[in-house]
């Protein structure tokens, strides 16, 4: 399946049905009075986070979503049927923005979390509502209120526990393939990885999610190479695993280049816990390995792990180090709950009940 992490979508909720102008007609009753029913409410447009998705590719083929209108009211005080809702199914981690791409509407970080993007218009009152002591036969009714329409942007930031960063050909995809069942494309040329890949790693019966993003080169924050647009997918991670290939002539410089790009991107990526590893060490002899390990340690200020996805050396130790940081971070956080949804003055509880709101204010 192709990867897409950004989509522009047009949404429109349903218009409310119009109220009915009707009068009671019955044998032997000369002045039956008004009996026009109310119009039905228009359908809403919702967005819901679901598991099993990690791309917005479906929105490339459908960009317009419209809820149905409410049915008009009818005689005998019959209220029209409400319009049907429309629900956009998106991956967990999707952010919804206004058309300006700056105003955040909602951030869906929990499976099952829902948000009402556009409320349907209220149905109009039938003429039975307008009967008074001085006007026993009103011949007018309210039209239904129009629904809301807008253009929104969907931005996906994958939810992962650990993110793999590094220069192109640092061995990130090879590492991911070695410790998970993911099968990213692997080849001996730069930018083999063109979009993020996810995999589930297991160590000591503990599972966590790894995200592999395309490599960063000098100037990535200015658009050089693939750029830094995929760094958003490691914003939510607990820890970054920074891989530096042992085949780099200057491993210290390679480390600092990626750190500079992370700093230029911002969003506190440089404040995240970091594990540094010298990868692909199977290509070095002992003397060269010792030299490059010392150079990298000087650049990052800590002793780096030495790993090889081919031979398996050091892989278990790195996975355990990642696990320990993730477990510690998770215990510091309270368990996430599906939040209650708020839209203007309306509150929808987890059971789906409508409480409070602005229903009465929608009628003129």
Binding positions for GTP are 166-173, 191-195, 212-215, 279-282, 308-310
The binding site comprises 166-173, 191-195, 212-215, 279-282, 308-310
- φ, ψ dihedrals at 251, nearest 5°: -70, -30
Q: How many CB atoms lie within 10 A of CB 21?
A: 18
Using DSSP's 3-state secondary structure scheme, residue 37 falls into coil
CA–CA distance, 298 with 305 (Å, rounded to integer): 13
Residue ranges of the annotated binding site for Mg(2+) are: 173, 193
3-state secondary structure of 151: strand
Q: What is the 3-state secondary structure (H, E, C) of 50-117?
A: ECCCCCCCHHHHCCEEECCCCCCCECCCECCCCCCCEEEEEECCEEEECCCCCCEEEEECCCCCEEEE
List the beta strands (DSSP E) in the chain: 6-12, 45-50, 64-66, 86-91, 94-97, 104-108, 114-118, 149-156, 162-166, 197-203, 206-212, 239-245, 273-279, 305-306, 341-343, 346-348, 354-355
Of 348, 345, 336, 264, give the one whose Cα is nearest residue 107. 336
Structure tokens at 78: 């019959």
Cα–Cα distance, 61 to 154 (Å, whole number): 14
Q: Cα separations (Å) of 3 from 42, 95, 180?
A: 34, 16, 19
Helix, strand or coil for residue 279? strand
Q: Is 322 helix (H, G, I), strand (E, B) or coil?
A: helix
């Amino acid at each position: 399946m192709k990867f897409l992490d950004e989509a522009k979508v047009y949404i429109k909720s349903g218009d409310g049905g119009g109220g009915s102008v009707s009068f009671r007609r019955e044998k032997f009753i000369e002045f039956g009075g008004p009996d026009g029913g109310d119009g039905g409410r228009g359908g809403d447009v919702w967005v819901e986070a679901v598991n099993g998705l990690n791309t917005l590719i479906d929105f490339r083929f459908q960009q317009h979503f419209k809820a149905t209108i409410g049915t008009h009211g009818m005689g005998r005080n019959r209220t029209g049927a409400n319009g049907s809702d429309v629900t956009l199914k998106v991956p967990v981690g999707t952010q919804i923005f206004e058309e300006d791409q700056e105003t955040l509407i909602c951030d869906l970080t929990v499976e099952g979390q829902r948000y009402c993007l556009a409320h349907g218009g209220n149905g109009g009152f039938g003429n039975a509502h307008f009967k008074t002591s001085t006007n026993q036969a009103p011949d007018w009714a309210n039209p239904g209120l129009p629904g809301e329409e807008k253009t929104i942007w969907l931005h996906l930031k994958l939810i992962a526990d650990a993110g793999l960063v590094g220069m192109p050909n640092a061995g990130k995809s090879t590492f991911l393939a070695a410790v998970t069942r993911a099968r990213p494309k692997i080849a001996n040329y730069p930018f083999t990885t063109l979009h993020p890949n996810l995999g589930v790693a297991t160590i000591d019966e503990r599972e966590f999610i790894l995200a592999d993003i395309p490599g960063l080169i000098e100037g990535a924050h200015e658009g050089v190479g693939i750029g830094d647009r995929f760094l958003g997918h490691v914003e939510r991670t607990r820890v970054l695993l920074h891989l530096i290939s042992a085949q780099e002539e200057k491993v210290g410089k390679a480390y600092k280049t990626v750190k500079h790009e992370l700093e230029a991107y911002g969003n506190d990526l440089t404040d995240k816990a970091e594990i540094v590893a010298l990868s692909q060490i199977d290509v070095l002899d002992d003397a060269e390995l010792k030299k490059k390990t010392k150079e990298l340690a000087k650049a990052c200020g800590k002793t780096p792990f030495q790993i090889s996805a081919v031979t398996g050396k050091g892989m278990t130790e790195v996975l355990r180090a990642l696990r320990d940081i993730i477990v510690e971070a998770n215990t510091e956080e309270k368990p996430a709950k599906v939040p209650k949804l708020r839209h203007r003055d309306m509150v929808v509880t987890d059971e789906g009940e409508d409480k409070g709101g602005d229903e009465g204010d929608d009628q003129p």
